[in-house]
Amino acid sequence: MNAFTKIPLFLPGLRTGESGVKRILAGDVGGTKTNMALYEVSGNGPVLSYEKSYPSSKYPSFQDVILQFISEHTLNKPDRICAGVAGPVMEGRAEITNLPWKIDSRQIAATTGVNEVQLLNDLESTAYGLAGLNEKDFVLLSEGQPGTVGHGAIIAPGTGLGEAGLYWDGQDYHPLPTEGGHCDFSPRTVLDFELLVFLQHKYGVVSWEKLISGPGIHDIYLFLRGRSGEKEPTWIRDALAGEDPSAAISKAGIENSDPVCAETMKNFVRFIARESSNLVLKMKATGGLFLGGGIPPKIAPMLKGDWYYSNYLDCDRMQHLLRQSPIRIINNEKTALIGAAWYGAYGKF
């Protein structure tokens, strides 16, 4: 996965060249929004017909979103429904990590009359979405070592923190969902330990997701603002009163218009780099690391600098392995939705 080529994902229907499936209703269920789309399957793969995004908190269940989408588009019954969901999927059921939804593929089938319904973990769906992306959909951070092959990994900070692996069988990549974002945060510096104590008072257990996520940016800022003793400027206070304080902090940090916001983002990037390194080492992901989720494309200028890569390499004796892995930002916010469509068309139901 060094010099860019189409990324080969294992999808059984692609072996025959024809899946027999014509219409896929695809979904990407997140804590903030749920994206829905209808895809028509052609010889070149799933082709988008139409799509719409819904605020997740406005609906009591995923089934309500599906029915809303169908009613708005006077949609005839699709052949399959496939959705990536932000949480672990067990026997066709899932509870959304940052949303009070319980999703059951059997209930969806009964409600819609569609017999074939599949739920994927959202990072698993993101991994399958790589099959539908091109070079323009990525931002290269490091070329890695040319000619290296091996497993891959995805780390995806957004509303929460998703992590996944890509098992390489010598021909194709097999997505491997994990819940690694909920593993314990590992502090290194004095500042890290102080931050850990601050977050323990607020949350109890402190996972990597408590730092490497949208809400994590806000918490790091609050900690650093209190630690600095500097009075918060009025314009910062007004910006943080909006709907997305983390976006305001990120913007001020990137523009270097407030020192505490800048320090917040510097530490946030450091934490992404450290957990990126951890994930590559655990997966032995010499084939490539992908930074997905909603945040990395928005802070790409900071991730492209030496600060991210130097902290990524700052591990115990395995820098030679880390250097082999090419690193790319996934610069397509619909990757998980695309993955649901590709799995819906060619995956095993």
Tell whether 185 and 57 lie within a shared domain. Answer: no
Those residues whose C-beta lies under 8 Å from the C-beta of residue 280, and which sit 6 or more positions away, are 153, 286, 289, 321, 322, 325
Considering the domain architecture, whether residues 339 and 326 belong to the same structural domain is answered as no
According to DSSP, residue 207 is labeled B
Q: Are residues 19 and 30 in the same domain?
A: yes
Residue 4 lies in a domain: no
**120 and 144 in one domain?**
no
Nearest CA to 261 among 293, 243, 239? 239
Q: Are residues 199 and 64 in the same domain?
A: no
Q: Which of 101, 98, 42 is nearest to 66 (CA)?
A: 101
- Name the strands in the sheet holding 93-95, side by side, starting at the edge strand that comes first in the sequence: 89-90, 93-95, 102-104
Q: Domain for residue 2, yes or no?
A: no
Residue 64 lies in a domain: yes
Q: Are 82 and 94 within one domain?
A: yes
48 assigned to some structural domain:
yes
88 and 170: one domain?
no
Q: Is the domain of 109 the same as that of 158?
A: no
Which CATH number do you get for residue 104?
A: 3.30.420.40
Name the maximum alpha-carbon separation found in the chain. 64
CATH of the domain at 280: 3.40.367.20
Q: Are 279 and 221 within one domain? A: yes
Rounded to the nearest 10°, the torsion over CA 105, 333, 302, 255 is -120
Find where tokens 């790589």 sit: 130
Instruction: Please indicate, yes or no, whether residues 105 and 159 belong to a single structural domain of this protein.
Output: no
Are 340 and 123 in contact by the 8 Å Cβ rule? The answer is: no
Write out the residue range of the structural domain in which residue 264 sits.
139-331
Q: Indicate the DSSP class of residue 97.
A: T
Q: Are residues 154 and 278 in the same domain?
A: yes
3 within some domain: no
Q: What is the pLDDT along the chain (349 residues), one digit of tens a residue?
A: 444 557 899 998 887 665 567 899 999 998 889 999 999 998 788 999 999 999 999 999 999 999 999 998 877 789 999 999 988 999 999 988 778 899 999 999 999 999 999 999 999 999 999 999 999 999 999 999 988 899 999 999 998 999 999 999 999 999 999 999 999 999 999 999 999 999 999 999 999 999 999 999 999 999 999 999 988 999 999 989 987 899 999 999 999 999 999 999 999 999 999 999 999 999 999 999 999 999 999 999 999 989 999 999 999 999 999 999 999 999 999 999 999 999 999 999 8
Nearest residue to 118 via CA among 131, 105, 104, 128: 105
Q: Verify that 306 and 160 share a domain, yes or no.
A: yes
Count of the separate structural domains present in the chain: 2
